[in-house]
Each structure stands twice: as C-alpha cells, then as structure tokens.
C-alpha cells in the first residue's frame, strides 16, 4: 500500500492526452537495469508505446501492456542510462507526451554515467638496468647467430657430396 502511495506521489503529469507517468528501478547489474514504466492514458487508445532515446545509443521503441483501466506499463531491461522518454498512444486519437527523462519520472539511477579511464604502467627498472638488459639481449642474439653459422656453415662442399654418394650407394645395394 505504501508503494502504491509513493508511486502516486512521484508520478509526473506528462500532458497531451496522458495523465500520470512513473519509472521505478526494480533491479540492477553492472551493465543493465530492470525498470518498470507506467503511464495513465486519458483518451481511448488501441495501444501505447514508449520511445527511449539517449545520445549515441540506438533508440528503443517498447510496447506497453494495459495494466487495468487506463494504466499502461511494462517491465523491461535497459542499459543504466538516463533515457529521454516519450509516450505515444496509437488509435483514433493518437497523441505523444512531452519528453521527460527517467529521473524526471522518479527513477534513481543505480550508478553514475560510465567514465573512461586509462592506466599507465611505470617501469620498475632504472635506465642503467634497462641498458644492461638490452646489452645482454644483444649478446645472446649474437651468440645464437654465431652458433647457427657454425652449425649450418661448417660443412665443406666436398664433404657433403661424399656423404650423399655413400647414402645413395647403400640405398641401391639394399633395393
């Protein structure tokens, strides 16, 4: 009973064929919130939709369900943003309400708007230590290069051809 009374007190008149409107926060997660939207329609309407708009986001058009009498509403999950809401009645006497934000309709946003942050990682080594590290890395690369030249470049052409000939002669004797 207290909840209904608080909704009536917090309800906002949105005009143009609409009575009281409200937005209530049901639950939140880190990247979404569940919101209950309600609006009273003062004229005949076949259906009612809510247009939710936020700069930089895709506009949402959400159909509302008749909740009894002239009250329409919906429980929906959206990003935790302070959307601008326009209610629209569809029918013989179609109308649009004034634009109001969710906070104007009584919603307490769960978290502040997202803020981008950057993180800088500072090196724990001094410049002198870094120079010795690069010198060690260079010497290691030079040693690996010398090893590769010794392994790959250590054979002479005459030695290689005699080894190939002995392998070929042993294969022909087996076959």
Write the CATH number for 61.
Answer: 2.60.40.10
Per the structure, the complete domain to which residue 56 belongs is given by 2-101
Residue 140 domain flag: yes
At residue 11, the pLDDT reads 47
Residues 134 and 60 both lie in one domain: no
Residue 114 domain flag: no
Residues 35 and 76 both lie in one domain: yes
Residues 10 and 63 both lie in one domain: yes
Instruction: Give the integer Cα–Cα distance in Å for 163 and 131.
Output: 47
At residue 94, the pLDDT reads 80
At residue 129, the pLDDT reads 81
Residue 70 domain flag: yes
> By C-alpha distance, which of 85, 15, 80, 84 is closest to 50?
85
Residues 90 and 155 both lie in one domain: no
At residue 68, the pLDDT reads 84
Residues 28 and 70 both lie in one domain: yes
Residue 121 domain flag: no
Residues 133 and 93 both lie in one domain: no
Q: Please give the tally of structural domains in the chain.
A: 2
Residue 40 domain flag: yes
Residues 143 and 66 both lie in one domain: no
Instruction: Give the integer Cα–Cα distance in Å for 72 and 34.
Output: 17
At residue 70, the pLDDT reads 87
pTM across the whole model: 0.55
Residue 118 domain flag: no
Residue 69 domain flag: yes
Q: What is the residue-level pLDDT of the chain in tens, covering all 175 positions?
A: 444 434 433 444 555 678 889 999 999 888 899 999 999 988 888 889 999 999 888 999 999 999 888 899 999 999 999 999 999 988 887 888 889 999 999 988 865 555 555 666 666 778 888 888 888 888 998 998 888 888 887 666 555 555 555 566 555 555 5
The 3-state DSSP composition of the chain as helix, strand, coil percent (nearest 5) reads 30, 30, 40
Instruction: Give the integer Cα–Cα distance in Å for 87 and 49.
Output: 6
């Amino acid at each position: 009973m207290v909840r209904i009374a608080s909704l009536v007190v917090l309800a906002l008149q949105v005009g143009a064929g609409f009575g009281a409107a409200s937005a209530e926060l049901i639950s939140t997660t880190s990247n979404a919130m569940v919101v209950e939207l309600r609006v009273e329609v003062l004229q005949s309407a076949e259906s009612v939709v809510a247009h939710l708009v936020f700069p930089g986001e895709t506009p949402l058009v959400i159909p509302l369900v008749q909740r009894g009498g002239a009250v329409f509403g919906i429980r929906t999950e959206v990003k935790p943003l302070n959307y601008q809401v326009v209610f629209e009645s569809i029918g013989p006497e179609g109308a649009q309400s004034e634009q109001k934000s969710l906070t104007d309709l009584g919603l307490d946003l769960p978290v502040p708007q997202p803020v981008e942050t950057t993180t800088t990682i500072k090196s724990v080594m001094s410049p002198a230590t870094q120079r010795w590290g690069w010198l060690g890395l260079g010497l290691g690369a030079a040693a690996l290069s010398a090893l590769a030249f010794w392994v790959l470049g250590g054979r002479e052409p005459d030695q290689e051809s005699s080894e190939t000939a002995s392998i070929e002669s042993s294969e022909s004797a087996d076959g």
